[in-house]
Amino acid sequence: MEYVKLSNGVEIPQLGFGVFQIPPQQTKQAVAKAIQAGYRHFDTAQAYFNEEGVGQAIAESGIPREEFFITTKVWHSHHGYEQTKKACEESLKKLQTDYIDLYLIHQNIGDVFGTWRAMEELYEQGKVKAIGVCNFTETRFTNMALHNKIKPMVNQIEINPFYQQQGTEDFHAKFETLIESWGPLAEGRNVIFKNPILAEIGEKHGKSVAQVIIRWIIQRGIIVFPKSLKAERMQENLDVFDFELSEEDMEKIKELETGEPIAYIDTPEFVESISQFGV
């Protein structure tokens, strides 16, 4: 496993296991399989409704808590200073832990500044080891970074071969912020696993299309969360540290850019629709 350092010196595994859209009743089993495969970094959220499964699998693994890196997120219906404090306590109980390694604002909606004040206090109290945001555009991220005591240490955004956000590494580096990629495999759209460019690169290295994509993200210095319910896929996705893409490979992958995200997060329609979903 390769690690990167957050701005406060906390080390974070660059490859983790995401549990988005894994049903709550299947989460414990999926995470247990992932732990057996070698994963120690897990990304969940209040709005995924499966924090309990993550916590149960980790607690029953027999592996010391300090060997894991756990990320969870507060949903917008719990934004605001007091609400966020309560949400964090709920997540701590569900995850069966006395601290969260990384606590994120899930969506840039509602009272994010009140939420951030609460997160700064939770960080100072040691209940969370690092804090950050998700889905913040560069404009909104700049506003958050410049007008708070602690700058977000992470911004988790969509990055995949069809929506690459080239240059976002340099932007976030100005704030000493690391990037995490959600949707790295583009949720399988555009027949990505049969893409001829990715398949050709994979054949050259003796790797699958998924492994090529994960490696491409890692070489950009970005943290990544592939997801699978199959043990063999979990292992395959983890097996990406024994090869390196060439500059030519990286340039070829740039040709896949479409500019079309999975979710248009910065539109009035998105804000209106997501605001109706509370937890």
Which tokens belong to 116? 């951030």
**Phi and psi, residue 175, nearest 5°:** -105, 10
| pLDDT for res 265 | 82
**What percentage of the chain carries pLDDT values higher than 90?**
90
39, 48, 103, 163: which one is catalytic? Answer: 48
Taking the C-alpha atoms of residue 35 and residue 83, their distance in angstroms, rounded to an integer, is: 32
Confidence class for position 109, pLDDT limits 50, 70, 90: very high
Q: Give the gyration radius of the chain's Cα atoms.
A: 18
Q: What is the pLDDT of residues 1-42, one digit of tens each?
A: 999 999 999 999 999 999 998 999 999 999 999 999 999 999
Domains of the chain: 3-275 (3.20.20.100)
Mean pLDDT of the chain: 95
Beta strand 131-134 pairing with 41-43: unpaired
In sequence order, which ranges of 96-132 are alpha helices (DSSP H)? 112-125
The model's pTM is 0.95
- Report the 10 Å Cβ neighbour count for 224: 27
| pLDDT for res 273 | 87
Give the CA dihedral 100, 101, 102, 103, nearest 10 degrees.
Answer: 10
Taking the C-alpha atoms of residue 208 and residue 206, their distance in angstroms, rounded to an integer, is: 7
CB 79 within 8 A of CB 115: yes
Q: Is 10 exposed, middle or buried (0-12, 13-18, 19+ CB in 10 A)?
A: middle
Tell me whether residue 48 is one of the annotated catalytic residues.
Answer: yes
H and E: helices and strands count for the chain: 11, 10
